[in-house]
C-alpha cells in the first residue's frame, strides 16, 4: 500500500518509473525488427558510437539540454551505421569485425573528448559521464517528455511502415523484387533504432543498451510466431523489466537502476526460454524424457 502511494505521489519515482517503462516499450518494439534481421548487436554499436556525438554537441553548443545532446548522439550513430555498412559491403572484413571496430574506436574517441571536456575545468561537465552507466534516478520531467515525444514518433513510424518492415525482416529479396527500396527502408529502420538507443542512453547507459533491444524481442519470440503479437509482447516485456528494475532499485538505495533493469530483463528472458508453451526448454526436456521411457518400455 505504501509502495502504491509512493508510486502515485513521489515525483522522482514517477519520472524514473515512467521513463524506464517508456524506454522498454520503444526498444522492445523496435528490437523485434533488429533481432529478426539478425542485427541484434546493432544497438550495442549505436549506443557506443553515440558518445562522441554527445561530446561534440556539447563542445559546439556548451549546452546540456537533452535534445541537443540527443541530436548529437543520433548524428554520430548514423555516421557509425553508414561506415559499418560500407565496411561490410566493400571489404572482406566480416560483419562482426565491422561492428567491433566501429563500436570500440568511436567509443575511444568519445572517451578522448569526454576527458578533454572534464580536464578543461568546466564546472558544468558532470552531466556527460552519466551517459556511460546511465542515471535513471536523475530523470526529470523534461527528460520523460522528450523520451515520450521521440519514442512516440518512432512507434508511429513503425505502425505506418509495418507492412514494409515486416517484408524487409522476413524476405528482403522479395521486397526488392516487388519494387520496394530495401536500402531506404533499412536506413529508416536503423534511424528509428538510433532513436530508441538515444533515449536509452540516459537511463541505462552505453553498455547495457544492447540488452534492451535484444532481450524483450528474444523473450517475446518464445511465446508467439506472429510478428504483431511479438511486437506487443516485446514492448510489454520491456516495460515490465523497466518497472521491476526501478522498483527494486528504489527499495534499496545502493542498487543502481540501469543494471537492475537489465537483470530483471534477463530473468524474463530465461523464464520465457524455459517455460513458454511449445518452445519452452522445460517442455522439450519432459517430452524427450517421456519418449525415452516409452522406447524403453517397448524394448
Partner 1 sequence: MSASVVMILTGVLVATACALPGVFLVLRRMAMMADAISHAILPGIVAGYFLAQGPSLPAGFAGASLAAIVTVALVEALQHTRRVGGESAIGIVFPAMFALGVLLVSKYFANVHLDTDAVLYGNIEFAAFDVWLVNDLNLGPRSLWVMGALCVINLLFVGLCFKELKLATFDPGLAAALGFSPVLIHYALMAVVSVTTVGAFTAVGAILVVAFMIAPAAAAYLLTDDLGRMIALAIGIGAASALSGWFVALALDASVAGAMATMSGLFFLLALFFSPSHGLVARARRLRRQRLRLALENLVVHLLNHEHQVSEAHEAEIAHLSSELRWSPRFARWIVAIAKRDQLVQQANGYLSLTAAGRDLARQAAASRDREG
Interface region with partner 1, contact rule CB under 8 A, candidates 164-172, 185-193, 217-225, 232-240:
217-225
Binds partner 1 (CB under 8 A): choice among 190, 222, 234, 246: 222
Distance CA 178, CA 10 (A): 53
Establish if 211 lies at the interface with partner 1 (CB under 8 A).
yes
Q: How far apart are CA 294 and CA 185, in angstroms?
A: 51
Three-state SS at 279: coil
149 within 8 A of 166, measured Cβ to Cβ:
no
Choose between 146 and 239: whose C-beta lies nearer to partner 1: 239
Minimum distance from CB of 297 to partner 1 (Å)?
28
User: Is residue 104 part of the contact set for partner 1 (CB under 8 A)?
Assistant: yes
Residue 277, interface with partner 1 (CB under 8 A)?
no
Spatial separation of the C-alpha atoms in residues 91 and 186, rounded to whole Å:
20
Given the complex with partner 1, which of 17 and 220 has the nearer CB atom?
220
Residues 11-50 that bind partner 1 (CB under 8 A): 35, 38-41, 43-44, 48
Shortest gap between Cβ of 220 and partner 1 (angstroms)?
12
Residue 235: alpha-carbon gap to chain centroid: 11
What number of chain residues touch partner 1 (CB under 8 A)? 64
Assign 134 to helix, strand or coil. coil
DSSP for residue 136: G
Asked if residue 275 binds partner 1 (CB under 8 A), the reply is no
**What radius of gyration do the chain's Cα atoms show?**
21
266 binds partner 1 (CB under 8 A): yes
Name the grid cell of 219. Answer: 523473450
**Cα separation, 142 vs 16, whole angstroms:** 12
Q: Out of 10, 67, 82, 94, which residue is the one contacting partner 1 (CB under 8 A)? A: 94
Q: Phi/psi class of residue 180: alpha, beta or left (left: φ > 0; alpha: ψ in -120 to 50)?
A: beta
Q: Which residues would be at the binding site for partner 1 (CB under 8 A)? A: 35, 38-41, 43-44, 48, 86-87, 90-97, 99-101, 103-116, 119, 129, 132-133, 206-208, 210-211, 213-215, 217-218, 221-222, 254-256, 258-260, 262-263, 266, 269, 273, 279, 281
Amino acid at each position: 500500500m505504501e509502495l502504491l502511494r509512493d508510486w502515485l505521489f513521489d515525483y522522482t519515482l514517477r519520472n524514473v518509473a515512467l521513463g524506464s517503462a517508456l524506454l522498454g516499450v520503444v526498444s522492445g518494439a523496435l528490437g523485434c525488427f533488429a533481432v529478426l534481421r539478425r542485427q541484434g548487436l546493432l544497438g550495442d554499436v549505436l549506443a557506443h558510437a553515440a558518445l562522441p556525438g554527445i561530446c561534440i554537441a556539447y563542445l559546439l553548443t556548451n549546452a546540456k539540454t537533452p535534445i541537443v545532446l540527443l541530436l548529437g548522439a543520433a548524428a554520430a550513430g548514423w555516421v557509425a551505421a553508414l561506415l559499418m555498412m560500407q565496411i561490410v559491403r566493400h571489404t572482406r572484413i566480416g560483419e562482426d569485425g565491422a561492428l567491433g571496430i566501429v563500436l570500440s574506436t568511436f567509443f575511444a574517441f568519445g572517451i578522448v573528448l569526454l576527458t578533454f571536456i572534464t580536464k578543461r575545468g568546466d564546472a558544468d561537465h558532470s552531466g556527460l559521464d552519466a551517459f556511460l552507466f546511465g542515471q535513471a534516478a536523475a530523470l526529470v520531467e523534461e527528460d520523460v517528455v522528450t523520451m515520450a515525444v521521440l519514442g512516440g514518433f518512432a512507434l508511429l513510424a513503425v505502425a505506418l511502415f509495418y507492412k514494409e518492415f515486416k517484408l524487409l525482416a522476413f524476405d528482403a529479396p522479395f521486397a526488392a523484387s516487388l519494387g520496394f527500396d530495401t536500402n531506404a527502408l533499412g536506413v529508416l529502420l536503423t534511424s528509428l533504432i538510433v532513436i530508441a538507443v538515444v533515449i536509452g542512453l540516459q537511463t541505462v547507459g552505453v553498455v547495457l543498451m544492447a540488452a534492451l533491444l535484444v532481450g524483450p524481442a528474444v523473450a517475446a519470440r518464445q511465446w508467439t510466431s506472429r510478428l504483431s503479437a511479438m511486437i506487443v509482447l516485446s514492448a510489454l516485456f520491456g516495460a515490465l523489466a523497466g518497472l521491476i528494475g526501478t522498483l527494486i532499485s528504489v527499495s534499496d538505495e545502493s542498487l543502481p537502476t540501469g543494471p537492475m533493469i537489465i537483470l530483471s530483463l534477463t530473468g524474463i528472458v530465461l523464464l520465457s526460454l524455459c517455460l513458454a508453451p511449445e518452445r519452452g526448454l522445460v517442455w522439450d526436456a519432459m517430452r524427450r524424457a517421456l519418449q525415452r521411457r516409452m522406447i524403453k518400455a517397448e524394448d
